[in-house]
Amino acid sequence: MRPLPLPVARGIDTALDKAVVPGFTRLGPAVRRRLPTWPEDARPGALAGRTAAVTGATSGLGLATAEGLARLGAHVRLVVRDTDKGERVRQQLLRDVPGAVATVDRCDVADLEDVRRFAADLDAALDGGRLDVLVHNAGALPAERTESPQGHELTMAVHVLGPVLMTELLRDRLAGSADSRDARVVLVTSGGMYAQPLRADDPEYTRGSYSGTTAYARSKRAQVELLPVLASRWAGQRIGAHATHPGWADTPGVVDSLPGFHRVTGPLLRDAAQGADTTVWLAATEPTPPSGRLWHDRRARSPHLLPRRTRTRPADRDRMWSWVREATGLD
């Protein structure tokens, strides 16, 4: 059978994405992997001698990401709130991945003071060494409006403020040099952000009736809209800023937070490894992927499925970034 022409393959890939259900479910990678447009896997041992940190690494996408990075040779640092659970996951990782190296680090990403403490501890632990990959996977979807220790709406604290501050504090450890490859910072976002515009006018969600799923989607929209700002800010130190959305994956977070969605879509959901595939690929593939983009199933995607509803004005992006800088105390 003759392979499909590349324009046809790209058209099929795009159609899957625009149709949402087939593209976001397990059908997406099942079809795309058979297309000539599917990128090659990272080479075996691509991350040997490198260090990767993954937040929220004790279950679901975070655990699958940690395992994928370990299989490529990385020393994986499991950044978790519950160190006892983190240690159990570490032991599981050592059993499942021959030769794996993993370390448990404690951090509550929602607590900006704890992020500062963690970054200082990690800086000391690396002892002048480099952090090559930082995956911001930790997530939250509260049923009611909840505030972080600093008084910020929880989803914004976990998905935006904590990751930005953590990366900023670790910039010297992430910075590349002439003889090293660019560092990779990956924000694990969500397809839910396609349904929400950037709410720079109300980042703390203080207006209207609060919805956890809406708050979650708004914070994920903020992650993606800030990518150009972050990519530009970190480019001088050769730190790439990327975002991935995993599609619809069967994870404990989905079961706990969206039980109705899980009941309806269960048979079609991706497993955690399928959901984490692009994150792991971005962390290890060569050459370095372009910074400042949203990725899904190993291809850069538009951040808008409904442009008229979600298109962001530069002034709104600037306003959101100003709020992030003020909330985190960045220069």
What residues act catalytically?
216
CA–CA dist 117, 107 (Å, integer): 8
**Using an 8 Å Cβ cutoff, are 141 and 257 in contact?**
yes
Which letter, b or e, does each residue of 211-235 get, where b requires 16 or more Cβ atoms within 10 Å of its Cβ?
A: ebbbbbbbbbbbbbbbbbbbbebbe
Distance CA 324, CA 306 (A): 26
Using the CB atoms, write b or e for 269-283: b if 16+ within 10 Å.
bbebebbbbbbbbbb
Specify the residue for token string 């794996």. 100
At a CB cut-off of 8 Å and minimum separation 6, what does 259 contact?
A: none
Which residue type sits at 316?
A: D
